[in-house]
Amino acid sequence: MAALQNDLSAPTPLPPLSPPKVISGVTMALPTPPRALFFDVFGTCVDWRTTVTQALDAAAHAALNSATASLASRIRLRASDMTPAHWGIFAQEWRDGYKAFTRKLAADPSLPWKSIDEHHLESLKELLAKWELKGLWTDEEVRALSLIWHRLDPWADSASGIALLNQLFWTATLSNGNISLLSDLKTHGKMNFTHILSAELFGSYKPSPKVYLGAVEKLGLQPKDCAMVAAHLNDLRAAKDLGVQAIYVERPGEEEWSTDEVQKASDEGWVDLWVSQGVGSRGFVTVAEKLGIEVPTGTPKRLSSSA
C-alpha cells in the first residue's frame, strides 16, 4: 500500500497539452480538453454480472460433484435446483448489497471503515444463509469465492480503448474497490491504467465528494481538467456537481435510473459526452475517437464481455 501511495504522489509527467485534434471531421468533444480521465470500474470497465454468475454456478457444480464434499441432503437438493438464472439473481443481490453498503458509509463518516473485500465476504455469507445454501462450500471455499471480484472479465473494448486514451491522457481508476482488488483487475483485464486510485485512499466511498476531489488533488489538477467515465448517471452527477466533466458510456444492464430519468439527463445536457450502446458504438474506443485520437483499423467493435 505504501509503495502504491508513494507512486501515486509522484506520477510520471503528463503528456503535453496540444490543441484539439480533428480526426475524420470530429473535434475534441468536451468543453475543456482534460488532462486526466477517471474510470468507474464495476460495470463500466468490467462485466461483473457474467463473471460472477458463471463463477457461482461453476462452484456449485463443483461442490455437488465433489467426491469428498459431505453435503446435507437439503443443501444438495437446494443447490441442485439452482439454475444459471437463479445464480444471476444471487449475483445481482450481492451487487445490490455492495451499493447499499458503500452509500451508507459515504453518507455517514462516523461509521467504522470496512474494505470492499471484507464487505464482499460478509455479504456472501449472509446471502448463502438467506438462500438456504449455507454449507454448500467450506469456509475456505467461501472466502476464495468472495474474491471473484478480483478476476472480473473486461468488456471487449476496455483494454484497447484505455490503451488509445493513454496516448493523450492520464487514465486512472476511481472505484470503491480497494487497491489490491483494482490492481488485480488491471492485471487480469490487461487494462493499462496509468494510475490506480481507490476510494480507500480517501477514507470514504463514492458518491462522497471526498473521493472525487481527493483524486483530483492526488494528480495535482483542478476539477475542470478531469473527466469521470462511468456507466452510471448517479456517479457522473456526483462528479459533475464538483466541476468534473462527465463521460457516459452505456453498458448492458448497468443503469439504475429509470427511462424517464435517463431521458431527463439527456435533455438537460449536463453529460458532456454520451456514448450509447447503439449500432456503431464501441465503448471506450468511441470515447477515444470523440476525444481526437486516431483509432487503427481492426480495433474491437463489439460491446460483449470477453468471457
Q: Residue 134 gets which letter from DSSP?
A: T
Alpha-carbon radius of gyration of the chain: 20
Is pLDDT above 50 for 210?
A: yes
The whole-number pLDDT of residue 1 equals 42
Is pLDDT above 80 for 180?
A: yes
Alpha helices, H only, the chain = 2-9, 48-65, 73-80, 84-107, 116-130, 139-146, 158-165, 179-189, 209-218, 233-240, 259-268, 284-290
Mean of per-residue pLDDT scores for the chain: 89
Residue of higher predicted confidence among 303 and 251: 251
Sequence-separated (6 or more) residues with CB below 8 Å from residue 54? 84, 307
Q: pTM for this one?
A: 0.88
Residue ranges of domains in the chain, CATH in brackets: 36-46+152-291 (3.40.50.1000), 49-65+81-150 (1.10.150)
Average pLDDT over residues 78-96: 97
User: Model confidence at 300, in pLDDT bands (50, 70, 90)?
Assistant: low
Of 1-10, 12-21, 39-48, 84-93, the range with the lowest mean pLDDT is 1-10
Percent of the chain at pLDDT > 90 equals 80
pLDDT in tens, 42-86: 999 999 999 999 999 999 999 999 877 788 999 999 999 999 999
Average pLDDT over residues 247-267: 95
* Residue in the block written with cell 435533455: 267
* Residues 50, 63: Cα–Cα separation, whole Å: 20
Whole-number Cα distances in Å, 2 to 5, 10, 185: 5, 13, 19
3 state DSSP class of 275: strand
The whole-number pLDDT of residue 31 equals 81
pLDDT in tens, 138-161: 999 999 999 999 999 999 999 999
pLDDT in tens, 100-144: 999 999 999 899 999 999 999 999 999 999 999 999 999 999 999
The whole-number pLDDT of residue 20 equals 42
